[in-house]
Structure 1
Amino acid sequence: MSARGVFLSFEGADGAGKTTQLRRLAARLRAQGREVVETREPGGAPGAEEIRRLVLEGDPARWSAVTELLLFNAARRDHVERTIAPALARGAVVLCDRFADSSRVYQGVVRGAGAELADSLHALAIGIEPDLTLILDIAPRTGLTRGLARGTAEERFERFGLAFQARVRAAFRDLAAANPARCRLIDAEGDEEAVAARVWAAAAPLFEARA
């Protein structure tokens, strides 16, 4: 690996299996002898985890789209400063469950804050992108059913409903098409092993290039 580490994000609608596939990839990379940092958004650092509760819990109408966007960027800044940047600086692999693309899709496109505002805030406050983004693509009804079945308090976005999840899926597909050099669309239907094989097929060239 090069001196700088590798930064990979997992994206997709709620219930697409991002966390499961991130953990599987982390285990595979650790078996190869790599240092791997597993992290998530919102969260991944103490201050960011406090903001996580504000944006993922409570009534769906709790925040406007622009307020949400600002909160997510505040959490992301703390996350990058305290977790992601130090890990990359020491040459680790960072696997992140969601990153800026979620803000572009959820707040920028689907909630209506505007893609331009999402991009401008990211450029101003964050300034880094993953080396590779894996977008797990799943039928909205399947993802929503999975998300609600978790039974946690973090269901604010699931409670926007099925039509919302369908718009999220469409926006992620558009994002993948617009960023082919960075983004890979992964079919997330089927069993975990089959999806993991698709994830590795997409990710392996990145790690082979940095071996």
Structure 2
Amino acid sequence: MIIRQANVEDWKGISRVHVDCMQQAYQGVLPANILDKFTYNDREKRWQKDLPNTISGGTMNFVALDDQGEIVGFALGGTMRDARLRIKYTGEIYGLYVHPSAKGKGVGKKLFERLREHLASLHHSSVALWTFKDHNSCQFFKQLGGEEVYDKNTTIAGKELKELAFGWESFTKKKKKLTLTILMYNRTL
């Protein structure tokens, strides 16, 4: 697997991952009429137009490629946009998507780590993101050391949902494993 910065030619692969993730991961979470709007045609037009803005300056989009060179995931992040979270968190993960066929293979974690490196290089020492409560992504972000820091109610197409913000206060510091080596020897007196 290769993780690299996205380029303007990646719009079609990113669109495929985005649509397939939304259709699979958000069934029963988002209203059907919202999911119906996530089509390949719609996302391709949108990503072809928007992708150049997501690979410049402080905003960065990374893609994960499988062994055949196909895009199987992407992660996007930059400066915090939410005024409530901006008080404590300077960086934001705008999205992290892994194609359903690539889940459980470490793609999400590798994208997260690459985005961590980028945001740290921009001096974002604290980062947060939004997801929906009880969505399977919550467990993933907890495993990566994220803590629930804020929640809010939101209405999407008439459906009441709860969103959760996960935060990392020391985003630039990876947890180090402590290794203890004990040397045992025989001592003859």
TM-score for both structures, normalised by structure 1: 0.26
The structure richer in strand per residue is: 2
Question: Greater CA radius of gyration, 1 or 2?
Answer: 2
The structure richer in helix per residue is: 1
